[in-house]
Each structure stands twice: as C-alpha cells, then as structure tokens.
Amino acid sequence: MTEIKTAYVFPGQGAQFVGMGQDLYSEFHSARELFDLADKALGFSLSKLCFEGPEEDLKDTRHSQSAIVCHSLSALSAFIESGKSKLLPEPSFVAGHSLGEYSALGASGILTYVQAILLARKRGELMAEAAAKTPGAMAAVIGISQEILSDICLKTGCYIANFNSPGQLVISGLKEAVDQASAQATASGAMKVVTLQVSGGFHTPLMSPASTGLKEMLNSMDFKTARIPLVANTSACPVSTPQDVKAELYCQLTGGVQWQKSIENMIASGVNTFVEIGPGKVLAGLIKRINRSVSIYNINDAASIQNFSV
C-alpha cells in the first residue's frame, strides 16, 4: 500500500456565500471560539455577516477576504477538534490560492488564526482602495495555450494573473485591456472566456498602491518560522522563514499565482492526498484537472467533517 503524504489547500476570493460557517459555529466549540475572537478583534460582527449576509456586503473585497480566512480556519479547527484529521498524516505542505495563502499562514503556524484574519482584513481594505483608484477587471480563459495568451497580453497590456490548471488561465488588468484580450482570445480559439465578478485588476501592477500599506502591516506583525512549509504562490516553492514568507506576501499582491506549478511541485515531492479546507470545491476541480491520480477531500461544513473517512 502506498504511503499517504498530505497537503492542506485553502480557497481564495469568490468562494464566499451567505450562511458559511453557521453549522460549524453551532456544532464545534473551536469554530465558535474563533468566530467570536474574530468579531472582537475586528470590532464588528464578521460572524453575523457570514451567517446572514447581506450578500452584497459579504462579496465586498473589504469583508470577503477576512470572512473566507475565518471560515477556512474555523473548518480546520473543527476538523482537528473532531479527531478526523488524525485519519491522515500531518500535512507535509500547506498552500492557498491567492487569498487562501492567508489561511495557510494560520495552518502552518506562521501566524495565529486571529492574526491571519486581521492581516486578510487589511489586505482586503488596501486592495479595495487600490481598485477604487484604478478600476480593473479579470477574466478566466479556458482552452488556450499559455504561449498564445501571453502574446495577446503583451499586445493588449494586460497580465496573466492565475496559472490555474491545464487550459485554465486568468487574465487581469484595466477593463479595456481585459475586454480586448478576451475578444482576441476568443478569436484565437479559446473555448470560453468568463468575466469574473471582481472590482480590481488583482495580481498585477494595478495593485501597487496597496503594496506600501501591506508592507507596513507585515513588518508590524510577529511572524514565526513555519511548522509546516508554505508553498508560495509566486514561486511554487516551499518557504518557511518569516523573511521569506513576508517577501512572498508582498510580491503576491502584484504577481501571478502559480497554482498549477504549486500542485505539480507538491506531487513531485510525494504528495498524493490533498485536503481542500474552506468554502466551496473550486480547488478540488483544479487539482483534478492537473493530476487525476491524486486523492482529494473537501472540509467545508459540519457534514463533511462528520462524513470524513479515508
């Protein structure tokens, strides 16, 4: 029998939904404690926003980022509290898709769970401010090669922001540039182009105005050496030291998310089992497209924890 080697992965912005975490709060002491601590630290009821909405407020970048990190880390806390996490070995790596990297900070021991939520809140506020100054757009492009799309981006002035899986890339930039690139991608044979519901050109230089504020926040926080290595979005390689993690978070704001390479590198290091922890199942879908031979589990609510088996 093949030895199981595990990685925990955490979803990014867009995974939020009204009602997220309510069952975890009801059924697990550790999840209830974390939501209550987050409410106190943030100075408003994040839990009420997650559980009751309204949806428009929850989708707001300023709120959604801390909400997703809080939900993800609450789900992880509940998974550990239930004892079901012991059915798998301790993770060899953690990783998160874009915002999900902030959930991974908590899971890796680099930050406390509450610190990770507070940092995600600051990131969301800074990104919302940058997007208000220079509105941007993002679009998922399905079924076109990276080479062709790179050439289109070069001509139109936008960027590949997310390298998600074979045949799925996300472009980002000024709205006009993304519109032009989307049209050219369709003309060049893309199967599908889907405009994403975001207000900014995330993971591009359009987010540069947010960099100074994020750097100040990073420098003010006490980062620990990772207990579990974090596979960085920008390099797809593991990082562990406070200095390297801070550099990654700073670069990630304006740089592309190398998700496919991150998964491939973890698999090359022996990982054969991924646990997606947090709202939705987006990452599970991407991982299946990257490599169909690995096992993938989802921990996103009380039922998924209760029904978890290996």
DSSP, res 309: -
* One-letter amino acid of 272: N
Q: How far is CA 258 from CA 74, 165, 193, 233, 255, in A?
A: 26, 9, 20, 5, 9
Helical pair 29-42 and 61-82, crossing angle rounded to 10 deg: 150
Cα 64–chain centre separation: 11
- Can 203 be counted among the known catalytic residues? yes
CA 206/CA 307 separation, integer angstroms = 43
Any idea which residue has 């970048």 for tokens? 61
Q: How many Cα atoms occupy the beta-carbon half-sphere of 184 within 13 Å? A: 18
Rg (CA), the chain: 18
Q: Are strands 273-277 and 6-10 parallel, antiparallel or unpaired?
A: parallel
Q: 213: how many CB neighbours lie within 10 A of its CB?
A: 17
Q: Which of 30, 92, 98, 262 is catalytic?
A: 98
Asked if 42 and 66 touch (Cβ cutoff 8 Å), the reply is yes
Q: Which of 165, 172, 203, 262 is catalytic?
A: 203
CA 188/CA 98 separation, integer angstroms = 28
- Can 29 be counted among the known catalytic residues? no
- Please confirm whether the linkage preceding 54 is cis (ω < 30° from 0): yes
Instruction: Strands of 254-294 (E only): list them.
Output: 273-277
Asked if 137 and 174 touch (Cβ cutoff 8 Å), the reply is yes
Just list the catalytic residues.
98, 203
